[in-house]
Amino acid sequence: MKVLVTRAEDEARRLAATLAARGIDSLIEPLLAIRFRPEGVKVLASFLDNVQAALFTSANGARAFAAATARRDFRIFTVGETTAAAARAAGFTRVESANGNVDDLAALVIARLKPGDGVLIHSAGSVTAGDLAGVLGAAGFTLRRAVLYEAVAAERLSPALRDALARGELAAALFFSPRTAAIFVRLVAGLETHCVSLAAVAFSPAVAAALEPLPWRRIAVASSPQEAELLRALERSLETERSA
């Protein structure tokens, strides 16, 4: 039995390797394709004056920021440890993780920084979740949002995934964002009945809510929005299946 990984390709391959180390096979089906914007260098250069810190709400944001500037002297705050790891891999050394969601990131920034010490820059995609600018603005901070990449939704499921669903080869599916969950719900039209035998494992309650239109065997939710907790939820679901 395999686990469906729906993340963008780079993250999906890294996660598949993590699953393989735990003895779990996976099928990669990127529901979003990440494309760095060619004008990113120019956009970011105009935003870097008087910046005291950069905020990354995704690993793709970290990579896009690193690709758009050679500077690595910024203080970095990230939404979670996976994003922090991507920032460190890109060469940033002063990195702190909120180990949570966008609200946790805002709280960390408010606790660590002072509004008068400079502006903040958010390396963002064309679609974002949460109101980071609103929360930080209410605390007196100025946040500049630099749109450096876009996440393009898949238009159809691959033949490999459609076959795996039809043959009952999948035991579970992993979903990390409400957007990817919604894309899957839309693209699986006509194959909904094959979800009856799958456990959906969601990164957060918001992701779980986006998955509810489908007749899953069960929907498991990570205890906190961290990859390690999602993997624990997956392993509990697989153990439940084995026991059954």
**Any residues with CB less than 8 A from the CB of 80 and at least 6 apart, and which?**
97, 98, 99, 100, 225, 226, 227
As a whole number, mean pLDDT of residues 24-53 equals 93
CA distance 226 to 202: 11
pLDDT over 70 (residue 159): yes
The label of the residue with tokens 């709280």 reads: 107
Match domain 34-152 to its CATH number in 3.10.20.30, 3.40.50.10090, 3.30.70.1400, 1.10.3720.10: 3.40.50.10090
pLDDT over 90 (residue 75): yes
Q: Give the DSSP H/E element, type plus range, for residue 95.
A: strand 95-97
Q: What pLDDT does 62 receive? A: 96
Domain spanning 2-31+155-243 has what CATH number? Answer: 3.40.50.10090
CA-to-CA dists, residue 224 to 18, 98, 169, 202, angstroms: 19, 12, 28, 10
What phi, psi does 85 have (nearest 5°)? -65, -40
pLDDT per position as a tens digit, 110-155 = 999 999 999 999 999 877 777 899 999 999 999 999 999 998 999 9
If pLDDT is split at 50, 70 and 90, which confidence band does 46 have? confident
Q: What pLDDT does 244 receive? A: 62
CATH 3.40.50.10090 domain position(s) in the chain: 2-31+155-243, 34-152
